[in-house]
Amino acid sequence: MDNARRNFLKGAGGAIVTAGFVGAPFISSQAQAQTSMGMAGEPTKHTLPDLDYAYNALEPYIDEQTMRLHHDKHHQGYVNGLNNAEEQLALARGSGDYDMVQHWTLKAAFHGAGHYLHSIFWKVMAPPNNGGGGMPSGLVAERINKDFGSFDNFKDQFSAASKSVEGSGWGILAYRPIDQRLVIMQAENHQKMTQWVIAPLMCIDVWEHAYYLKYQNRRGEYVDNWWNVVNWPQVEEHLKLAMG
Ligand code: MN3
C-alpha cells in the first residue's frame, strides 16, 4: 500500500463511521482520551443516554416492558458494539492490518448509526398529553407546510415510509442543508440508504423489537399510534440546530 493511502486511512479517524450524521450536532458522546500503545487515534467513549421520562410514561402507546428492553438491552448493545468497534478500528489502524480496518469500519457504521438514531428516537418522544402528540407549531410547522404542502400530507408520507421499510429499519425526517429543505427517508437496518449530507431530526424505529410485544405483526397500528407521543418542541430544537 502506498503512503498516501496509508495516511488517508490513518487520518480518517471517526469521519468514516459517522458520515451521514455529521450534521446532527445534538447527538453528544462523552469524549475521553483512551490512547494506548498500538492505537491510531483516540476512540470516543460512547455512553447510553438516560430517558427524559419513566419507562411507562409512553403508555398506552408504547408499553413499559418494550421500553425497558429496548433502551436497556438493545440500545446498550449498540453502544457497546460501537465502543468495541472503534477501539478495534484504532488498533487495526495502528497495526496496519487494513482488512481489519474495513471489517471494523462496517461494524462501527452499523452500531454507530444504531446508537445515534436511538438517541434521537428517545428525545423526540414525550408522554401523551404531557409534551407528546398534537401538531407541530412554529418553525417546524412552517417548514413542513413549505416542503410537503400540509401537515396531513407530511404525516401520511412519513407514516407510509415508516410502514413500508423492508425488514428492520427506520422512518426518518431529516434536514438537507444543500437545498435547505426537509426530506423523508427510510433506513434499512440503521445505516443503509442515507443521503450523506442530511441531519436526522426525528425518527421512528420500526424494527420488530420496537413494537412486537404489544403490537405483534401490526406495524401499521404502532406507526399510527406513535404520533400520540411525538415531542414536537424537541423536533424544532433539532431543526434549529441543523439549520445553524
Ligand atoms: Mn431499536
Q: Return d(Cα 22, Cα 24) in angstroms, integer.
A: 6
| Per-residue pLDDT reduced to its tens digit, 33-81 | 445 667 878 899 999 999 999 999 999 999 999 999 999 999 999 999 9
The answer on pLDDT for 96 being more than 80 is yes
> What is the CB neighbour count within 10 angstroms for residue 219?
19
Q: Return d(Cα 49, Cα 28) in angstroms, integer.
A: 9
CA angle 91–97–99, rounded 5-degree value? 115
What is the 69 CA–ligand 1 centroid distance (Å)?
Answer: 10
The answer on pLDDT for 242 being more than 80 is yes
Strand order in the sheet with 169-176: 181-188, 169-176, 199-205
What is the 113 CA–ligand 1 centroid distance (Å)?
Answer: 11
What is the 205 CA–ligand 1 centroid distance (Å)?
Answer: 6
What is the 95 CA–ligand 1 centroid distance (Å)?
Answer: 34
What is the model's pLDDT at position 7?
Answer: 38
User: Quick one: average pLDDT of 211-234?
Assistant: 98
Q: 234 falls in which pLDDT band (50, 70, 90)?
A: very high
Domains and CATH numbers, the chain: 1-47+61-244 (3.55.40.20)
User: Quick one: average pLDDT of 87-114?
Assistant: 96
Q: What is the pTM of this model?
A: 0.86
C-alpha cell at 78: 449498540
List 176's β-bridge partners, or say none.
181
What is the model's pLDDT at position 16?
Answer: 32
What is the model's pLDDT at position 244?
Answer: 94
User: Quick one: average pLDDT of 189-202?
Assistant: 97
What is the 115 CA–ligand 1 centroid distance (Å)?
Answer: 9
C-alpha cell at 203: 425518527
What is the model's pLDDT at position 172?
Answer: 98
